[in-house]
Chains A and B, each alone.
Chain A
Amino acid sequence: MTTPRRTPARRARRRAASLALLAALTGCAAPATPTPAPPARPPGVATAPTTDATGGVCPVRRSLPPDPTPPRRILDRGELVAGVDPSDATMSHWDASTQRFEGFNIELMLAVARALWPSDDPRRRLTFKAVPPGQGAFTMLDRGEIDVVATSLTASCERARRVLFSNDYLDSGQTVLVRRHPDGTPEFAGMEQLGGRRVCAAANTTSLAMIAGYRTAGGLRPVPVHAPHPVDCLVLLRQGQVDGVSTDDNILLGFTQMAPDTTLVTEAPRPERRSCVHHRDENCTWFTDEPHAFAFHLTDGRDLVAFVNHVLAQPRTAKVWQEAHDRWLAGHRDRGMPSPGPATTAWPPPDPAPATPRPAD
């Protein structure tokens, strides 16, 4: 095929077209007025309604009594299937270089597998499946696709009606990630500055419910925006489509590693909003109490819960916990591995979070 000769008219047409394309690409007015390009957004992003429920999370810090007997059905099957959130740099994520899942939750799940099959490589016995964050994973638990939810899941009274929880294995609290100024300071100092601003949290999470009910001292409400995954909120934050991302501190810590142009807020919430009982020091920006626990099937998971509680209570697991914390959650200011609350055989527990002595600082 021969190339057509470029006539002056053709050259002029090309020049006009190049200018039009240039104008369109640089955002200037095009010769015709095209529909403005909508911004890119992750699928499933929407604004959530605000609510008047400001009570925060009702934490659950009790579980079934520990039992060293491994669940027969798991042993017979020969594998334990754990649902993990692959968007979590600190707790669980996929590493293409090592070709395996890594993170704090992964280390604890490996400890459970090691206890189930002491003579085997725990990774040969564990299967990790990606699940949605929050209670989105409960459906997979109900369908028997996974044995345990090992996402960064808050043990709440509401969720305890749908699933069984293990003992609390990590204390954390909800805080906010914002964009960072070039001098290192946060664009917004704290949650109180985010009234009227768009704040993103993952759908079906306690974090979203908290943002939807938050009211600043001046009576302003943040505008809650939800996305399917917390990492989608990080994308929206970097694109300037939201002003803050709010979820548990342990997750946001991973986000600051992914995106150094973001930082955690530094200003403490007002006193009646602070929730720092389980925080290590005074520089606490948490405004909820978030005990993290593994979740199991409400009726079929009792033996596995009891076994996991037994594993969590072992000194060897405490060592694993500390090593995993040092590796993945070095900047997380919790008070160490939580002590289990008094065991309960009734579920949901009638007294979900009795006062328990905390480990010394």
Chain B
Amino acid sequence: MASHTGDDSGADRPAPAAGPARVRDAPRLRDALRTTPALIVLSGAVLVAALAATATVAVQSRASATTLGERSAATAVGTSTTAREIYRGLADADVAASAVFLLPPAEDRRASLVTAYDASVHEVERTLTDSMGNAVGDPDRLTRLATIAARLKVYRDVVCAALRVAGPLPAAGTGNRRPCPSAGSAEQTGAGSPAARAVLASAYAREASHYMSTELLTAAQALWNYDTRLLLDARADARPWLAASVLAPLATLAALVVVQVWLRRRTRRRLNAGLLLASLGTTAVLAMLASSWWHWPDADRGFPELERAIDAQSATQQRLGALLAGRADVYLGLGASVDPAGHKAAFDSRDLCRPPAAGPAPPGDRIDCTALEETVWPARQSKAPDAFRGAVDTVLGGGSAGRAFVAAETHLLTELTTRNEEVSRMVAGLPEARRHLGGAAAWVTLLAAAAVVAGLRRRYREYQ
């Protein structure tokens, strides 16, 4: 077979008649690279680079392959459960704080409402402490939790200022616990009529509730979104690694075959043992990586359904948040707030009332707003004796509106529990991540690279 690769180096070609040396050297270099020894070196370099890339993929894809499956889902579901607890605890605290300012300081029930608020805030703080303990390896999550904690302190300070303005509570009424520290030296309280102080206390309560909805609940929701995002990101991140885990060994194998065929034709000899060994090794690497990702198609098929279940869970949680915020609106609007119309508008915008013709099985996540419309919202305009006190009794725990809120909250909590179980069941149904063989595959790839070098070196020496 006639040489067409320029083994004879092209020395008989006429040199260019004129021009700079660089222009003259370029064809020479091109011809030198077309020689068989040079092509052997070049193909060896390409094969070693391909094998190195395969080894890198084998090692680097490990995290994506293992976090994708059940482990990632379980982590995300576990952490988002905590985020849900924080969100609900904050909304509960807001309801309890808003209820405190419904009643004059002299009312016995006020102390129990302050105790309920205090308990809600401490429950959130306890959950935050536990979550921070579990998030030491996740700086992003820790930052989000610390952000919520810092904002909770601001919220608590505003509520405490309101409590101090409204008037002192008997220590026995709050179980001898002090829900707030004493006033600073600059802050003086306790003067003026109780009614005038109630107006200022209510202004603080309105500010606190606004802060809760604009800063704290949004931060808690962002934490939940972050947790569930981890799961969805794991899926998205894994796809390129899966493709690389299949394509890199396949491409390397193809390159080995091409070089083997070329070398065999070029030298009219038998198969190169080094290249053959490397091909077998690369095939083994392909099998190892395929085994490591074998669970992925099943997991991928299950993810869209899981994603839908998580979205439904989020929607239920936001519905619960809206219900609790609506209850706070009612308390603030009925209390001494300067903006009752604003609170009613906020309540109406949350779409919490059952439609008038709801039928025999009305939606359980909505409340019958008849009592609110007839007696609560117009209570301060009513001319009936004790209309305001009656409205307060209606919205607090034992009243009809209070019971309606509790029933809707119970319904949503039950629904949330069902959704949680659904998500947990789906997570349990995901295929378990298989043992990843990326490390072993990388070693095999290195051995294959050594075989390539040894096999090609022998041919190269023969040419020299």
Residues of A within 8 A of B (CB): 10, 13-14, 16-18, 20-21, 23-25, 27, 30-43, 85-87, 89, 93-99, 101-102, 123-124, 127-130, 132, 179, 182, 228-229, 231-232, 234-235, 238-239, 254, 257-261
Contacts and interface: CB of A to CB of B under 8 A. Distances in A.
Given A34-B150, A130-B340, A231-B203, 16 more contacts: A13-B134, A30-B149, A37-B147, A37-B153, A37-B215, A40-B210, A42-B207, A43-B342, A98-B195, A130-B338, A235-B204, A254-B196, A258-B165, A260-B192, A261-B187, A261-B188
A43 B210 contact: yes
Contacts of A36: 150
Interface residues of B, number: 70
Across the A-B interface, give the 4 residue pairs with the lowest CB-CB distance, nearest first.
A17-B133, A95-B195, A34-B146, A32-B143
Contacts of A27: 150, 153
A14 B341 CA distance: 46
Interface string B326-344: 0000000001111111100
B208 interface: yes
Contacts of A234: 200, 203
Contacts of B154: 37-40
Interface of B: 102-104, 106, 125, 128-134, 136, 139-140, 142-144, 146-147, 149-155, 157-158, 161, 165, 185-200, 203-204, 206-208, 210-211, 215, 335-342, 380-381, 383, 386-389
Contacts of A38: 151, 154, 215
A18 B188 contact: no
A24 B142 CA distance: 11
A31 B131 CA distance: 14
A231 B200 CA distance: 7
A182 B184 CA distance: 12
A348 to B, nearest CB: 29
A86 B338 contact: yes
Contacts of A254: 196
A40 B155 contact: yes
B352 to A, nearest CB: 20
A37 B103 CA distance: 30
Contacts of B210: 40-43
Residue among A23, A35, A228 with the most chain B CB within 10 A?
A35
A95 B194 CA distance: 8
A235 B150 contact: no
B150 A258 contact: no
Contact of A16 (B106, B133, B149, B342): B133
Contact of A13 (B136, B152, B195): B136
B336 A258 contact: no
B129 A17 contact: yes
18 contacts: A13-B136, A14-B129, A14-B133, A17-B136, A21-B146, A21-B149, A32-B143, A34-B143, A40-B207, A86-B336, A93-B196, A97-B106, A130-B339, A229-B203, A235-B207, A254-B196, A258-B165, A261-B186
B133 A258 contact: no
A231 B191 contact: no
A359 to B, nearest CB: 29
Given A34-B146, A37-B147, A40-B154, A89 B338 contact: no
A124 B381 CA distance: 10
B338 A229 contact: yes
Contact of B192 (A10, A16, A89): A89
A69 to B, nearest CB: 25
A37 B151 contact: yes
A34 B150 CA distance: 8
A258 B196 contact: yes
A182 B192 CA distance: 18
Nearest to B126: A21
Given A86-B336, A99-B389, A127-B381, A258 B192 contact: yes
Contact of B339 (A14, A20, A228): A228
B387 A17 contact: no
B354 to A, nearest CB: 27
Given A32-B146, A86-B338, A18 B195 contact: no
Contacts of B339: 130, 132, 228-229
A235 B201 CA distance: 9
B188 A260 contact: yes
A89 B199 contact: yes
B192 A93 contact: no
Contacts of A179: 186
A224 B417 CA distance: 50
B99 to A, nearest CB: 13
B53 to A, nearest CB: 36
B380 A130 contact: yes
A5 to B, nearest CB: 15
B383 A123 contact: yes
Contact of A97 (B125, B142, B194, B338): B194
A238 B187 contact: yes
A89 B196 contact: yes
A87 B104 CA distance: 16
Contacts of B146: 20-21, 23-24, 30-32, 34
Given A14-B129, A37-B151, A128-B381, A232 B196 contact: no
A257 B192 CA distance: 5
Contacts of A31: 142, 146
A85 B387 CA distance: 20
Contacts of B155: 40
A132 B338 CA distance: 8
Nearest to A179: B186
Contact of B338 (A37, A39, A87, A259): A87
Contact of A42 (B136, B194, B206): B206
